[in-house]
Amino acid sequence: MACYEWRIMNILVINAGSSSIKYQLMDIEDVHHCALLASGLVEKIGEPSGRAIHKTFVGDQERKFTEERHFSEHREGMSRVVTLLTDKKMGVIHDAAEIHGVGHRVLSCGEVYRDTVLVTPQVKDTIREFFPLGPLHNPANLLGIEVSQEFFPHAPQVAVFDTAFHQTMPPKAFLYAVPYEWYTKYRLRRYGFHGTSHKFIAQETAEFLGRPLAETSLISIHLGNGCSMAAVRNGQCVDTSMGVTPLEGLMMGTRSGDIDPAALEYIMGQTGMDIHQMVDALNKQSGLKGVCGVNDMREVVESAAAGQPQAETALEMFVYRIQKYIGAYMAVLPRLDAVVFTAGIGQNSAPVRARICQDLVHLGLCLDDAKNAVPANEPRAIQKAGAPIQILVLPTNEELQIALETKQIITGR
């Protein structure tokens, strides 16, 4: 048990998908003292041709290794991860025993776990129990845990739930206006996702503003290929845009976001689509891609600037949804300290941020165009001097948050 008292730990973070394994290895003390040692991806597991991408970071030097090969199953993919991490040329540790803990991103366990937990047989059973609510993610997450236990039997395994941060929502926010037994019997409710990102951003916002988290209220806007927002009052989530699945809420890269449920019956009747085809279309063929043909926001912005009407329409729709949610969340927050942009689009797209803020001056969002236009990887404020509400751009780091919570669980045993 001596290793659990170590100040610095090597934490491996794993995000296992149905056909992929994403990983990061960090040497971590706390949020301000951590080093990314390696990161990588094993993808197309089970397909005829797979790929492994492995990067190492030593000082300011980054090295990258890529190989094309067949991975028949996750166990074979994880074996390759261990080999790459310990390789004499491309590795950063000598032996798998140097990994002190493994943190796993897990989609959901409903209302059972409100925080990060040490993986036990009971935890695995609960993850399995919630397969129906996360059929694309929970089975892969559990598989990642079980394979990791085989390769790192000495290391505590920790589950970090994507829905945990949103468990502080009150019933008026998480319940749907449907027969109540659908909630009590079938667990139908708003769960929300991207919770690890929203939690990290809430903590970073409090630190940036120089106030305790428990005294910080904000609207966090996570904009990537998947998009979500959260209303955070005094450090706790009181509402979020995603629902029982990640499909609800904002318009996204390939997801529709909010839609009239009766429209689905109409389109199914017109096209002959079954429910599985409809859900697939809403998740993979809708959003930006559905409206203008591409889901990369950089391409959408460029096409809109070039006068392509469908791209302009898609961009206007994307922005409008976010503006409406900002207004709704301002209504439920007695005080608002900051509106915070994060993730790929939120952090890097100045044109999208400008469009979102330009019609919200009457709500106190006064963007400084010059500050907004300057690209940077550091946390920064981009509102005008004297504005009543701060507009922040903060890089998110879900892997770091998982690593921090994993270490906390291990050292607290």
Q: Which pLDDT score is estimated for 413?
A: 58
Domain end (from 161, 181, 199) = 161
pLDDT at position 136 is: 75
* pLDDT tens digit sequence for 274-299: 999 999 999 999 999 999 999 999 99
Residue 311 lies in a domain: yes
Is there a single domain that holds both residue 120 and residue 220?
A: no
Task: Specify whether 356 is located in the same domain as 226.
Answer: yes
Q: Are residues 20 and 103 in the same domain?
A: yes
Choice among 41-50, 76-85, 131-140, 295-304 with the minimum mean pLDDT: 131-140
Output the average pLDDT for the chain: 92
Q: Which of 27, 30, 60, 162 is catalytic?
A: 162
Question: The domain spanning residue 290 has which CATH number?
Answer: 3.30.420.40
Model confidence at 168, pLDDT cuts 50, 70, 90, reads very high
Torsion of CA 376, 379, 385, 386, to 10 degrees: 160
Smallest CA-to-CA distance from 327 within 318, 316, 314, 336 is with 336
For residues 43 and 152, membership in a common domain is answered with yes
Q: Residue 263 pLDDT > 50, yes or no?
A: yes
**Which structural domain range is residue 228 located in?**
210-398
Does residue 129 sit within a domain? yes
Give the SS3 label for residue 136: coil
CB 122 within 8 A of CB 80: no
pLDDT tier at 114, thresholds 50, 70, 90: confident
Structural domain contains residue 205: no
According to DSSP, the β-strands at 101-106 and 157-161 are: parallel
Q: Which pLDDT score, from 0 to 100, does residue 400 have?
A: 93
Question: What's the number of domains the chain is made of?
Answer: 2
pLDDT given for residue 17 in this prediction: 83
pTM (predicted TM-score): 0.92
**Structure confidence at residue 360 as a pLDDT band (50, 70, 90):** very high
Flag whether 175 is in a domain.
no
Q: Give 20's strand partners.
A: 43
Task: Please check whether residue 303 lies inside any domain of the structure.
Answer: yes
Q: Which helix (H) or strand (E) holds 180?
A: none
Among 128, 145, 161, which residue terminates a domain?
Answer: 161
Q: Are residues 152 and 221 in the same domain?
A: no
pLDDT score of 35 more than 90: no
CA 286, CA 291: separation in Å to the nearest integer?
7
Of 130, 146, 161, the domain-final residue: 161
Same domain as 363, residue 240: yes
The answer to whether residue 87 sits within a structural domain is yes
Asked if residue 293 belongs to a domain, the reply is yes
pLDDT of residue 7: 62
Q: At what angle do helices 138-151 and 74-86 cross, to 10 degrees?
A: 50
357 shares its domain with 215: yes
Residue 125 a catalytic site member: no
> Which residue type is seen at 278?
M
Dist CA 296 CA 325 (whole Å):
22
Same domain, residue pair 383 and 271: yes
Judged against a pLDDT cut of 60, whether residue 3 lies above it is answered with no
Q: How far apart are CA 321 and CA 241, in angstroms?
A: 11
Residues 119 and 241 in one domain: no
Please indicate, yes or no, whether residues 217 and 132 belong to a single structural domain of this protein. no
Mean pLDDT of 34-40: 90
Is pLDDT larger for residue 413 or for residue 50?
A: 50
Q: Does one domain contain both 90 and 153?
A: yes
The helix or strand, by DSSP H or E, that contains position 45, with its residue range, turns out to be none
Whether 307 is in a domain gets the answer yes
Same domain, yes or no: 125 and 242: no
Q: What is the pLDDT of residue 247?
A: 93
